Amino acid sequence: GLHVDLSIFGCSDSDGEDMYSLDGEEKWFADFINHRGVEPQPSFIDHISYVEGTYDNAVANQQICRSNLKNSLEAMKDIPLEN
């Protein structure tokens, strides 16, 4: 059968998200408050682990995202809300 594999990534000035799921169940997410990756999988399944460095990648991607957000906000500051 078919499966739904989803990755969510985004940021704001003060928050961020990086998460992977399969068929609606979280497989991994970045816990930026506690500085670690979390694999919230139940004990009755074969555990799916992510490679070492996945959390570090998430942190680096947040920095890039915030830089891109800052650049976009700066570039759009003089554009009127309505035409």
Position 83 pLDDT exceeds 80: no
Q: What is the pLDDT of residues 12-63, one digit of tens each?
A: 989 999 999 999 989 999 999 999 999 998 889 888 899 999 999 999 999 9
Please tell me the predicted confidence (pLDDT) of residue 47. Answer: 87
Identify the CA nearest to 35 among candidates 12, 18, 11.
18
Question: Rounded distance, CA 47 to CA 62, Å?
Answer: 26
For the chain, report the end-to-end CA distance as a whole number of angstroms.
Answer: 48
Task: State the pTM of this model.
Answer: 0.81
Architecture of the domain spanning 5-76: Roll (3.10)
Q: What is the DSSP string of 9-56?
A: EEE-SS-EEEEEEETTEEEEEEETTTTEEE----TTS----PPTTHHH
